Amino acid sequence: MKCFLCPRRCGADREAGETGRCRAPALPTVVRAARHDWEEPCISGTAGSGAVFFSGCNLGCVYCQNLEISRSIRGKTLDAAGLRELFARLRDSGVHNLNLVTATPYARTVAEALETPPGIPVVWNSGGYESLETLRMLEGKVDVWLPDMKYADAALARELSDAPDYFEAADAAIREMLRQTGPYRLDEAGLLRRGVLVRHLVLPGHIGNSKDVLEWFAALPKGTALFSLMAQYTPNGFGGPERRLTPEEFSEVSDYMYMLGIRDGYVQELSSAGSEYVPPFDGTGLR
pLDDT band at 279 (very low <50, low <70, confident <90, very high): confident
Residue 12 lies in a domain: no
190 vs 223: CA distance, rounded Å: 15
pLDDT band at 173 (very low <50, low <70, confident <90, very high): very high
145 vs 124: CA distance, rounded Å: 5
149 vs 201: CA distance, rounded Å: 8
251 vs 92: CA distance, rounded Å: 41
Averaged pLDDT, 218-222: 96
Residue 3 lies in a domain: no
Q: What is the pLDDT of residue 67?
A: 86
- pLDDT > 80? residue 272: no
Question: Comparing 241 with 277, which gets the higher pLDDT?
Answer: 241
Residue 77 lies in a domain: yes
203 vs 264: CA distance, rounded Å: 22
At 84, which CATH number? 3.20.20.70
- pLDDT > 90? residue 40: yes
pTM: 0.97
Averaged pLDDT, 148-166: 98
Domain span at residue 237 reads 26-277
- pLDDT > 70? residue 275: no
The pLDDT > 70 percentage for the chain reads 98
pLDDT in tens, 107-129: 999 999 999 999 999 999 999 99
Residue 81 lies in a domain: yes
pLDDT in tens, 59-90: 999 999 998 899 889 999 999 999 999 999 99
Averaged pLDDT, 206-233: 97
Averaged pLDDT, 236-246: 93
Residue 2 lies in a domain: no
Residue 4 lies in a domain: no
Residue 6 lies in a domain: no
Q: What are phi and psi of 214, to 5 degrees?
A: -60, -40
Helix 207-218 vs helix 247-259: angle between axes, to the nearest 10 degrees?
A: 20
Residue 199 lies in a domain: yes
> How many domains, the chain?
1
Averaged pLDDT, 48-56: 97
